[in-house]
Amino acid sequence: MAGIYLHIPFCKKACHYCNFHFSTTLTLKNELLTCLRKEIELQKEYLSGVPITSIYFGGGTPSLLSIEELNAIFNTIYSNFEVENDIEITLESNPDDLTEDYCNALKKSTPVNRLSIGIQSFNDECLSFMNRAHSGKEAIAAIKNAQKADFENLTIDFIYGTPTLSDEQWVTNLNTAFAFNIPHLSCYNLTVEENTALNHFVKKGKQKPVDEMQSARQFQILVEKTAVNGFEHYEISNYAKSGFRAIHNSSYWEGIPYLGIGPSAHSFDGNSRQSNIANNALYIKSLSNNEMNFEKEVLTLENIHNEYVMTSLRTSWGCDPLKINPFFAENFNKKIAELIEKGWITQNGNNYILTFQGKLLADHIAVTLFE
């Protein structure tokens, strides 16, 4: 098993909370797509011939690509890698791009079989707070267009904890997704990241910092409502109906190798991680010379332990103590006992999982267990 991630670093508008790598100028798009295909060719040995079981277009905004541009990328992937039949192929998309024609063309003329729609909220006040390019009405239209085009495997991204989102509006957002029978939800608490417009506004006092009580309340609403509506809470931010877990994202949590293509994309081969330069012009410059510009980190025993603890604790199956390196076991067991005492961790069979309180503190708990 192995995955391919493609980073499409262009967006129509800069969302105020976003710290991903993207540009709102599309002038370099053609050159960048040529380089992206070149990088696929240059990296064809990276996964050592392991068949591809998922392809994921992320960004940025991959739905800015035309059908022809997507198919040129697919042709390059299929001619350089062994791709298994019936694999999950996800395209991240923004609601304002998902017109009826685009959805129909995606379904009929490309192998994309899963759409991840960046809705974030159906409420216009929240969308304007986030500086999103779409309205609530466009979000509804996007779902209808995708479903009319026969995309069954849909996932919606939501953000909660924004100062504009009342608990009632949060329930309305969730109920709207349930009414459309969306089988997968990714829900993120608003965080204020460095180098974002939101961070600047908070520092200047123009926006309030995130209200932790509101976030905790809205997380509780989310956990309860999704459970009642038949979703499995299989990862801290991800909820799926039976048979609709995200295959590509699950590979990140299960240590499966993946190749990242495009500026800022990360790759993992089981022993090392590498990250491409997060700059479109420099990415193009190096690939135009048939060279790749990335930083590589060979994982130490400590890195492997820390990553396993951090990712496994976020999942519903939890952290298996048998997978902890014996070298770190004594320290791990001592700290786990303290976390159980605090009510943040509990046992599910042999594995350790987060309690509801623990889920609110997941990052802090993982750091506690780091070597």
Q: Which residues bind ligand SF4 (CB under 6 A)?
A: 11, 14-15, 18, 20, 22, 59-61, 94, 118
Own/partner long-range contacts of 269-272 (Cβ < 8 Å, ≥24 apart): 269/46, 269/47, 269/48, 271/298, 271/299, 272/296, 272/297, 272/298, 272/299
Residue 164 CB, nearest approach to ligand SF4 (Å): 16
Q: Which CB atom, from 11 or from 143, has the smaller least distance to ligand SF4?
A: 11
Residue 10 CB, nearest approach to ligand SF4 (Å): 8
Q: Which CB atom, from 164 or from 229, has the smaller least distance to ligand SF4?
A: 164
Q: Which CB atom, from 61 or from 123, has the smaller least distance to ligand SF4?
A: 61
Strand partners, 315: 235
Residue with tokens 């004594």: 330
Spell out the alpha helix ranges (H) of 95-210: 100-109, 124-130, 136-148, 167-179, 197-203
Q: Which CB atom, from 138 or from 307, has the smaller least distance to ligand SF4?
A: 138
Residue 183 CB, nearest approach to ligand SF4 (Å): 22
Burial class (CB in 10 A: 0-12, 13-18, 19+), 260: buried
Residue 116 CB, nearest approach to ligand SF4 (Å): 11
**Rounded-to-integer distance, Cα 362 and Cα 70, Å:** 37
Residue 353 CB, nearest approach to ligand SF4 (Å): 30
Q: Which CB atom, from 90 or from 312, has the smaller least distance to ligand SF4?
A: 90
**Cis link prior to 60 (omega < 30° from 0)?**
yes
**Rounded-to-integer distance, Cα 323 and Cα 369, Å:** 14
Q: Nearest to residue 354, comparing CAs of 307, 311, 316?
A: 316
Run of H or E residues at 185: strand 184-189
Q: Which CB atom, from 118 or from 358, has the smaller least distance to ligand SF4?
A: 118
Residue 304 CB, nearest approach to ligand SF4 (Å): 30
Residue 194 CB, nearest approach to ligand SF4 (Å): 15
Q: Which CB atom, from 22 or from 56, has the smaller least distance to ligand SF4?
A: 22
Question: Which 8-state DSSP code applies to residue 315?
Answer: B
**Rounded-to-integer distance, Cα 210 and Cα 244, Å:** 31
